[in-house]
Structure 1
């Protein structure tokens, strides 16, 4: 089979919907370049970053999604994507696409090209995320995590990851038991382990995310603390955790809220992020309807994160 790079030119508002379609057709990797993302603006006040913004060259005045497939029939995949886009448009869902193109690439081309953008950055109070290929001299009290993002690294989740780590730092206690739902490259679960969790179970339905997280757990020497599982974490784990963290999307968090009480003790917290601001009220309503009480919220740029716990009726 050959590797193909598919380039989709779209607009900011359609990125989330198109990403959902791509995961439905088993995409092997996604890179998003959106000049409208706040992190590219001169007014951005964040004190950390995943990459050197000056190295990013915009090829288009809208958003570009670069995605990668290993396949024998790219035309079949493109046809399915078009059908799904047309179906959503017929349902009144904004799924704007200006142009789609595909070309054969070498696996090593896309697997390594993104590395030139990523540098060491600080997240939360003391966590430092260091790409595995960089050198870094840590300062006093800094907790350094080595990460090889791989294909599971999402370039559009900067604020959401930061807020999750800040909440983990605030709510974690020594010997906490943590569930990380949708672990991606493993940053959240590994952060929890480095901050004192006695056990972390991290899971993802994406096999590439599972592979990447497993490797990152290994290079941080945390195999005795972090266990990685493939599948819907809520279906492959038993018991309850002190912290359940999910950095996914608003709709999934709302669905999780229906059964999340099964995995929480009365003093446990549910940290949820990946919530675009326009859907914050929807998630808050879902949490309330399912017996959870909101303890705190954070908003950075276009994204929000929520901490909740069981209400008295669900304890």
Structure 2
């Protein structure tokens, strides 16, 4: 089978929604080429440093790449991807150059091209994200390992919005508690909650492909007895109360269900939100406060913001 590489020159702000668009179009995974990786100062506590080749990165902006099978419908698929990306401006998302290029690759190149970007990375005090094809031994006895195969879903679990969510889960989830993961995607946040000791995790996503991908990752990490994944639109028709709700999605989507989250979180419980760009910070914060939440903690990483909101 022949494969086509689609490359989008965009902005860091647009990486998450474009990755989602590519996933929904049939891409198995994405590669993100961000020149900030070349000069970023990393804390010594988290992460491994690898020699990066400047030739792999654009001079400015971010390049998002994905691989699609070459079929008679490829042209239509690419047109739909372009249209979906253009529509992001209606959400006030800066899509930058928005230059889309297509090139053909053979099967071997497609199967391995993106793996060079993905290595074990320690993202928090407890968690290390490990690709399924790499061997990794724990550094300490209390280290928690999440195995992911980006070929199953978009994202590698190391984007700042995901990292902040996992760090927030570490601060809030206690053994025996219940958690809801809204817009679960790869299922990484649900896996983290289960490994932290949650006894009951419900993971929701509107995209059926994402639901199936999350199920695969949850099976891979052996937490299927704790995590239940199902197709659902945000928190619509969800019953019962939980200790923690976590959502790593666009700010505009978060604003749609803040009140629902308040009603479902137990008094003293938490609502973790991420995927928030700096210009949307105050709008999301105001919505949380208006719904009745208190801002327990605000996390920031690069241009992204995450709130840990607490129901009094």
Shorter-chain TM band: 0.7 to 0.9
The aligned length equals: 309
- Alignment root-mean-square deviation, CA: 3.2
Report the counterpart of residue 172 of structure 2 in structure 1: 171
Which residues of 2 match residues 79-228 of structure 1 at below 5 A? 79-83=79-83, 94-97=94-97, 99-105=99-105, 109-138=109-138, 139-154=140-155, 158-228=159-229
Instruction: Report if the CA contact (8 A) 2:91-2:252 is conserved.
Output: no
- Answer yes or no: is the 8 Å Cα contact 2:184–2:204 preserved in 1: yes
Write out aligned runs for 1:272-283 (5 A): 272-283=273-284
Q: Distance in 2 between matches of 1:160 and 1:216?
A: 19
Alignment gaps of 5+ in structure 2? none
> What whole-Å deviation, never above 9, does each CA across 1:153-173 have from its counterpart, x for those lacking one?
426952222221222112112
**Aligned-pair distance for 1:224?**
1.0
Q: 1:146 to 1:90 in 2, by over 3 A?
A: closer
Counterpart position of 1:65: 64
The gaps in structure 1 that reach 5 residues or longer are none
Q: State whether residues 151 and 208 of structure 1, in contact with CA within 8 Å, keep that contact through their aligned partners in structure 2.
A: no
Q: Indicate the SS of the match to 2:129.
A: strand
TM-score, L = length of structure 2:
0.84
Aligned to 1:34: 34
Work out the CA distance in 2 between the residues paired with 1:246 and 1:83: 26
In structure 2, how many angstroms separate the alpha carbons of the residues matched to 1:300 and 1:261?
Answer: 25
Change (3 A) 1:111 1:286: farther
- Which whole-Å CA distance do the structure 2 matches of 1:180 and 1:186 have between them? 8
- Secondary structure at 1:77 match in 2: helix
